[in-house]
Amino acid sequence: MSTNSEELKVELAYLKGLNQELFEKNVLPAIHAKIEEFMDAFEDFFRERGFVVRRKNDSVRVSFDILHFKAFSNENQTILITKGKEQIALIPVKYKGNDGIKNSREAASISQLEKEIEREKQLSLELKEPEVYYTGGELGPRFDDPFPILNSIFNV
């Protein structure tokens, strides 16, 4: 007995909805926590070096004489660091399965639907307990801890 493509489409739609819920429930708070961890580390890093630190909302400004740095996050889960008005670092916060949630075009064949269902099932597993990390750019290395990133940016 062959599987009906309509049944597969229903299962795929269910899995995509489930994954969106898992993303909102598990991944977004984990990303926010990772960004907060970075902001705390940025604040500590500069406070230990005698900078004046001002934290407001989702940004941290540090100053020492005429030297001014700022760290903040944008809506794309990316941390930006500026020196004055110049951007000096861009640190994406990603999660395993990062490229998994997307709207795909209509799957044409049953085998395509089955492959997509398997991808969504794998993504569900990754979204249940997301592995969130910093990267050194789009294809850069993964970092769990913000201090190696700060040390590399500021050559400590």
Name 71's bridge partners.
60, 81
Question: pLDDT at residue 103 above 80?
Answer: no
Q: What percent of the chain has pLDDT over 70?
A: 88
pTM of the predicted model over 0.75: yes
What mean pLDDT value characterizes the chain? 87
Which residue, among 93, 105, 99, 82, has the nearest Cα to 153 in the 3D structure?
A: 82
Q: How many CB atoms lie within 10 A of CB 115?
A: 12
Query: What is the reported pLDDT for 138?
Result: 64
Indicate the pLDDT class of residue 4, thresholds 50, 70 and 90. confident
Question: 59-100 pLDDT, tens per residue?
Answer: 999 999 999 999 999 988 899 999 999 999 999 998 887 665
CATH placement of domain 5-153: 3.30.920
Question: Where are the domains positioned within the chain?
Answer: 5-153
CA distance 118 to 15: 10
